[in-house]
Amino acid sequence: MLIIGSRIASVILLVLLSYYPLWADQGMAIDPVTCLGCHGDKISAAAFVSSVHGKNGCNSCHVQLTDLSRHVKGQIRMEKVSCERCHKKENAEHYASVHVQKDVKCADCHTDIHSHRYWKKDKRIVVAKCIQCHDKEAIYQESIHGTTVAAGNQDSAACHDCHNLHDIKPMFDAKYQTDRVFHTRVCLRCHSDEQMMKRNNVFNVATRTYMDSYHGKNYRLGYPEKVAGCSDCHTAHAVLKASDPRSSVNPALLTKTCKQCHTHATTMFTKFYAHGEHTDRKKYPLLYWTFLGMVGLLVSTFAVFWVHTLLWMYRGFIENREKTELLAEGVIGHVPEGFTQFRRFNTRHIILHILVVVSFLGLALTGLPLKFSDQELSKILMALFGGAANAALIHRICAVITFVYFISAIIMCIHFLFFRKDIPGNWMERLLGPDSLCPNPRDVQDITGMIRWFFFKGPKPTFERWAYWEKFDFLAVFWGMFAIGGSGLMLWFPEFFGRFLPGWMFNIATIVHSDEALLATGFIFTVHFFNTHFRPEKFPMDFVIFNGQLSKHEFIEERRDQWQRYEQAGMIDKFKVEKRSGVFFDFFFKGFGFLALFLGVALVFMMLYAFLATPH
């Protein structure tokens, strides 16, 4: 009966429309009730009226419907609806998406167009649409994200949180592979939101600890394609708790996961703390105490030597002024033949020092941007090197140079102790003698005398061949090689060391390498630079290490005890230089020296700014 009634109503409607064709001609929207007279068997009037399109006339979408009477007679060909007439933004995004390449149209997702209601940001609706074509294996649906979305948690990640609603990017497009959009960036949108993580009881330091890692620092510097991202370890869709045996980060599967990048990873290797927090004493005590120890070493070293530097700077200025006045009054005179040159260093010393300068600057310039990866200047430096990969290569070349001069120094020490013929005594006497860089009781005397001089309690000490601060610099290389060199080798060859060392040793190595590098660069560019170049007696630079020569005046002024020992032994003329270094040699190496000083000072300011700008 209902069908017969509907047919009768349609006939009556056609008769009426034949007498009133001006409705459509006047461009008026057609009342949906009119259309439902014929199409009511397929479209629910109640559902359409309550839908998001319920206020529109039918010809708002079916624009070919310009004459209702002709339409009823079948004289108008109805074409597919063009949603872009109204939804321009969504249409533009859709046409830039991967769905267009797959010939996916609006209606393929919005199948309920006549009853479509506003989704009210309910992620379950989006997921229900996407899984009609995707996730047939229910990988996402069984994951942490999928189950929590299904339970109504609107914070959990749904399909569009990563892939967008309409602007859906191709998974294997070179641009997005390079940017690692689906590996890291989309994960950080939620996991860097501390409030969201807190209200969902999620490990809220995951993002910070990732950014503190080598992988995260490279990502932040703009080279995410060179390192592992979040989904490389946790997967993109099958994100499960580590306790779940199906999880990619479950201990039983972790070796397989690590082998995706580290092909020779072992079970020992996987004991690495991927999100280890060195401030968490309870959970990571080894990292906590290592970090605390390194911070203690940094603070104590800088505290002692910066105070020493400030006292020396003040006392040195006063001494220079006093000497100027005494010279003007004729109380003290110039040293006879004061500009006669004497050899302090030979060629191999000069070469080794140049290797030290080049390698140290290279290590600092390529390492500090990684440590302070959150700074814009770090990104600029990395770009100058041609990227993180090139910086890493330069860093490792400089590391090899460091090992070369370190091994050379050991060989020279052995030669000094056991084979040199020009130094009297057995190896123990040589080790503690005046020509040795090993500390001895004389250094205690010199340190005491220097402190007394700082406070105007006594004369400045007269030094032997090596002053106590020079010995400290030399021995610091040995400590640094074991600390920074050893940890650097571990981080350079993790798969090799991971065969017999537990993975958490790499966490410790990272802390030691990073903080020891900060200690070394800070010490060299402040304390060492002052002791050698910036102290009032030498400002702006001591050139002796580049040409190996110093004047008689400097010799007597700085190392009177060595001068007197050589004079008493009748060997002073043995060190006299007959021919001074050439003009070009001086020009080239002084330029090199000033460049090194400039870079060192610039890096000090960079470190200071980065340290102050980084929240603690």
Q: pLDDT tens digits, residue range 479-538?
A: 889 999 999 999 999 999 999 999 999 999 999 999 999 999 999 999 999 999 999 888
- Rounded CA-CA distance 186/180 in Å is 9
Q: Where do the domains of the chain lie?
A: 2-79, 86-168, 174-254, 285-329+346-538
Using an 8 Å Cβ cutoff, are 533 and 309 in contact? no
Could you give the angle at the alpha carbon of 165 between the alpha carbons of 163 and 166, nearest 5°? 100
- Rounded CA-CA distance 299/42 in Å is 79
Of the chain, the percentage scoring pLDDT greater than 90 comes to: 61
User: 407: Cβ–Cβ under 8 A, 6 or more apart, which residues?
Assistant: none
**Residue 149 reports pLDDT greater than 50:** yes
Could you give the angle at the alpha carbon of 407 between the alpha carbons of 401 and 413, nearest 5°? 135
Is the preceding peptide bond at 540 cis, omega within 30 degrees of 0? yes
- Residue 522, SS3 per DSSP: helix
333: confidence class by pLDDT, cuts 50, 70, 90: low
Using an 8 Å Cβ cutoff, are 87 and 73 in contact? no
Q: Which residues pair with 551 in a beta bridge?
A: 341
- Half-sphere exposure in the Cβ direction for 274 (13 Å, CA): 18
Using an 8 Å Cβ cutoff, are 603 and 521 in contact? yes
Q: What is residue 26's predicted lDDT score, i.e. its pLDDT?
A: 42
Q: What is residue 206's predicted lDDT score, i.e. its pLDDT?
A: 85
Top pLDDT among 85 and 412 is at 412
- Rounded CA-CA distance 515/371 in Å is 9
- Rounded CA-CA distance 82/67 in Å is 19
**Residue 8 reports pLDDT greater than 70:** no
Chain mean pLDDT for the chain: 88
Q: What is residue 14's predicted lDDT score, i.e. its pLDDT?
A: 41
Could you give the angle at the alpha carbon of 465 between the alpha carbons of 462 and 466, nearest 5°? 90
User: 124: Cβ–Cβ under 8 A, 6 or more apart, which residues?
Assistant: 149, 150, 152, 158
pTM: 0.85
Residue from 519, 466, 512 nearest 488 by CA = 512
Top pLDDT among 17 and 296 is at 296
Using an 8 Å Cβ cutoff, are 290 and 511 in contact? yes
User: 534: Cβ–Cβ under 8 A, 6 or more apart, which residues?
Assistant: 540
178: confidence class by pLDDT, cuts 50, 70, 90: low
Q: What is residue 12's predicted lDDT score, i.e. its pLDDT?
A: 45
Query: Averaged over 453-469, what is the pLDDT?
Result: 96
Q: pLDDT tens across 342-380, in order?
A: 999 999 999 999 999 999 999 999 999 999 999 999 999
Query: Averaged over 386-392, what is the pLDDT?
Result: 94
Q: pLDDT tens across 276-301, in order?
A: 999 999 999 999 999 999 999 999 99
Q: pLDDT tens across 406-458, in order?
A: 999 999 999 999 999 889 899 999 999 999 999 999 999 999 999 999 999 99
**Residue 18 reports pLDDT greater than 50:** no
Using an 8 Å Cβ cutoff, are 384 and 599 in contact? no
